[in-house]
Amino acid sequence: MRVLPGPLLADRTTLRLGGKAMVEIVVQGEADMDELAGSLDERTTRLGGMPMILGAGSNILAADHELGLVLIRLHGGGEPSLAQQDAGRDTLLIRVPAGLRLPRLLGWCCTRGAKGLEPWAGIPGTVGGAVAMNAGSYGLEMADVLERVLIWTPGLGCVWRKAVDLGFGYRWFDSGLDELVQLVLAVELRLDRDEPDAVRTRMRQFYGRKRQSQPVTMASAGCVFKNPSSEYPAGKLLEQVGMRGYRRGNMAFSEQHANFLVNLGGGTSSDAFALLDMAQERVERRFGLELKTEVRVIA
Ligand SMILES: Cc1cc2nc3c(=O)[nH]c(=O)nc-3n(C[C@H](O)[C@H](O)[C@H](O)COP(=O)(O)OP(=O)(O)OC[C@H]3O[C@@H](n4cnc5c(N)ncnc54)[C@H](O)[C@@H]3O)c2cc1C
């Protein structure tokens, strides 16, 4: 376990915004959990900080001022492994550490000929973040492939929970556990077997689609608002109220996809929040619809 004082959220989020937290605790895996429990207890009680789990920070919009947070992060190392040698002739059950980034998991799937996750090509988060958000793209959500999840809480320790016992919805996940800190440590995913070349080809196609429609190389946090419904995608609503490309300071709604808030370099969270307020107000006034944030806002 490693403890770092004063970590900057701006260095840990893909939107490149956010002030200093109190401390960051980086854990390697199950072996560190007892120490984490003690450290969390001390730092949250003595310093009065709020614990917050951070993955790759790719779904976070954080304020630039000092934040009373005790960040908990999983070390990103580790590789997927076969959870069950003989899961079936055509299927694979793999165990994946939650700190692993999705692009690395997808790279592993390409090499091993594991089919199923191709629509996620281009999502930059970690596996743990993808569970917490029930991340999804082109019709595939985490809930569709998840078999079991290993969760650590200070009160219960490490527990495996079957996917059928969990709640999932549009960018939310409910473990059913009643604890403030719920750290996803590992998952088991059920995938199909296929030829590595076929998996790679499909992944490239999905990534190509994403790159054509989203500013994947800019500093963003993905879609900033949830779609009020499939009939009213947030991006279309934002376009219709003139927010596409709308800029304030060095923050803007992307020209390429109106539902992506982008940091053009040196942007501030106050400009980001002002843009969000303006967009919500315009959509409410014109369509009577409430836009709710998909990004996790830390203010
Ligand atoms: C260019 C771009 C494209 C994107 N495209 C998509 C997309 O197509 N679909 C999609 O759904 N999202 C997309 N996103 C958003 C984001 O990548 C996903 O939501 C991702 O799953 C977040 O993972 P993270 O590790 O970055 O989590 P973070 O942003 O660090 O955290 C998000 C939430 O998850 C919680 N969390 C993180 N790790 C854990 C853990 N181990 N245990 C428990 N809780 C945890 C955090 O506490 C927080 O509440 C995109 C983002 C970008 C920048």
Given a cut of 80, whether residue 87 has pLDDT beyond it is no
Summarised one tens digit per residue, pLDDT across range 269-282 is 999 999 999 999 99
Give me the pLDDT at residue 77, please. Answer: 78
Residue 133 C-alpha to ligand 1 middle, in angstroms?
Answer: 6
Give the end of a domain, one of 213, 245, 263.
213
- Do 129 and 57 share a structural domain? no
The reply to whether 158 belongs to the active site is: no
Percent of the chain at pLDDT exceeding 70: 99
What is d(CA 139, CA 179) in angstroms, rounded to the nearest whole number? Answer: 31
CB 253 within 8 A of CB 261: yes
**pTM (2 decimals)?**
0.96
Nearest-atom number in ligand 1 for the CA of 101 is: 25
What is d(CA 79, CA 86) in angstroms, rounded to the nearest whole number? Answer: 19
57 lines ligand 1 (CB under 6 A): yes
CB 18 within 8 A of CB 6: no
Least confident range from 81-85, 259-263, 265-269: namely 81-85
- Do 85 and 201 share a structural domain? yes
**Closest C-alpha among 201, 55, 27, 34 to residue 124:** 55
Could you tell which of 52, 53, 59 is best to mutate to test the pocket of ligand 1, judged by most ligand atoms within 8 Å of the CB? 59
Given a cut of 80, whether residue 85 has pLDDT beyond it is no
211 lines ligand 1 (CB under 6 A): no
Give the end of a domain, one of 36, 51, 74.
74
Confidence of residue 46 (pLDDT cuts 50, 70, 90): confident
* Backbone dihedral angles phi then psi of residue 281, each to the nearest 5 degrees: -65, -45
- Do 186 and 85 share a structural domain? yes
Q: Which of 16, 101, 171, 202 is catalytic?
A: 171
State the CB neighbour count (10 A cutoff) for residue 61. Answer: 23
* Backbone dihedral angles phi then psi of residue 184, each to the nearest 5 degrees: -75, 120
Residue 132 C-alpha to ligand 1 middle, in angstroms?
Answer: 8
Range of the domain at 31: 2-74
* Ligand 1 atom 6 nearest Cα: 123
Summarised one tens digit per residue, pLDDT across range 151-202 is 999 999 999 999 999 999 999 999 999 999 999 999 999 999 999 999 999 9
Nearest-atom number in ligand 1 for the CA of 128 is: 41
Mean residue pLDDT across the chain:
95
Give me the pLDDT at residue 48, please. Answer: 83
296 lines ligand 1 (CB under 6 A): yes
- Do 67 and 142 share a structural domain? no
Residue 286 C-alpha to ligand 1 middle, in angstroms?
Answer: 30
222 lines ligand 1 (CB under 6 A): yes
Tally of structural domains, the chain: 3
**Closest C-alpha among 36, 29, 33 to residue 70:** 36
The answer to the question of residue 55 being in a domain is yes
Instruction: State which amino acid sits at residue 258.
Output: A
The reply to whether 294 belongs to the active site is: yes
The answer to the question of residue 299 being in a domain is no
Residue 105 C-alpha to ligand 1 middle, in angstroms?
Answer: 15
* Ligand 1 atom 33 nearest Cα: 129
* Ligand 1 atom 51 nearest Cα: 222
What is d(CA 29, CA 138) in angstroms, rounded to the nearest whole number? Answer: 31
* Ligand 1 atom 40 nearest Cα: 128
CB 274 within 8 A of CB 243: no
- Do 161 and 269 share a structural domain? no
What CATH number did the domain enclosing 252 receive?
3.90.78.10
Q: What's the 3-state SS for the chain?
A: CEEEECCEHHHCCCCCCCCECCEEEEECCHHHHHHHHHHHHHHHHHCCCEEEEECCCCCEEECCCCCCEEEEEECCCCCCEEEECCCCCCEEEEEEECCCEHHHHHHHHHHHCEECCHHHCCCCCEHHHHHHCCCEECCEEHHHHEEEEEEEECCCEEEEEEHHHCEEECCEEECCCCCCCCEEEEEEEEEEECCHHHHHHHHHHHHHHHHHHCCCCCEEEEECECCCCCCCCHHHHHHHCCCCCCEECCEEECCCCCCEEEECCCCCHHHHHHHHHHHHHHHHHHHCCCCCECCEEEC
Given a cut of 70, whether residue 99 has pLDDT beyond it is yes
